[in-house]
Structure 1
């Protein structure tokens, strides 16, 4: 996926018999997902105009352009949807899109390279950066807080971290 695309949602399956789909929105304001239309599949081979029909448990019932039947909607289950980056709002200085953090090198406050961010994980209690490093068998999960990650420099593609004691040992 290109750096010009950001994941904004996923199709959870069909909804009803007229081609609507269940859509999970990953947007801070869930209903904003329709504003970023058209949305694209991960490989960019398909695009959809999105029309929110109604709110349902854990998402929305949505009409996607070109999807007319339950069978077509069923075939899209599990498909992730992406928006053009320029459609998304600019973020304040202390907020980041997850996609911007993946691949950044992580250094401690003394300048020692700790590893590279491979994934951002959100388990509900706060974001964690999954940092892969050569000296650990398992990736380290660095809390993405101001205390543990005081500096994110997107231009230099690096993070300065003050990790909890023993995390990278």
Structure 2
């Protein structure tokens, strides 16, 4: 976020697929990270350009208040997130999961999810450095969130 104008508005780049997320009265978490975020209520919202909104939060009436929000991110409560299909996962649930091959040999730990392409890539931190693993059927055998483990059948040489 960054301030816009003198009326307390901030520019927000929305990554949400939920068009109702940014509506007057919506309660969102705002902070540098989710653990330090505080709840704020949207007072007003208007489009700026595709993918960007001008948002005014209750309690932030001027540019000085908006300036205090610079660089902060907006988070939704987990309870406000939609239910996902069985083969789709939230990034927050994947990061930190150990990755093993089909024989059970440890390969590394998921350190990031890259969703900027048509095919998601999972960055797996290995002892020899990061490896980008395509999150594709045929490669990802199973994701066990409760058991905290991802089993993969990677292409030959990917983790060598």
Q: TM-score range by the shorter chain?
A: 0.7 to 0.9
Q: CA RMSD in A?
A: 1.9
Corresponding position: 1:17 with 2:10: no
Which whole-Å CA distance do the structure 2 matches of 1:94 and 1:45 have between them? 29
Aligned to 1:33: 21
Corresponding position: 1:96 with 2:84: no
Q: CA deviation at 1:55?
A: 1.8
Q: Following TM superposition, where does structure 1 have runs of at least 4 consecutive aligned residues deviating by more than 4 angstroms?
A: none
Aligned to 2:108: 115
Corresponding position: 1:149 with 2:140: yes
Q: Is the 8 A contact 1:52 1:60 kept in 2?
A: no
Q: CA deviation at 1:130?
A: 0.9
Which segment drifts farther, 87-96 or 31-40? 31-40
* Count of matched residue pairs: 155
Q: Deviations over 1:75-97 (max 9, x none)?
A: 31210122221121111111111
Q: Which segments of 5 or more consecutive residues in structure 1 lack a partner in the other structure?
A: 1-10
Q: CA deviation at 1:60?
A: 0.8
Q: Which segments of 5 or more consecutive residues in structure 2 lack a partner in the other structure?
A: none
Which segment drifts farther, 33-42 or 19-28? 33-42
Which segment drifts farther, 55-64 or 91-100? 55-64
Aligned to 1:86: 79
Which whole-Å CA distance do the structure 1 matches of 2:44 and 2:105 have between them? 48
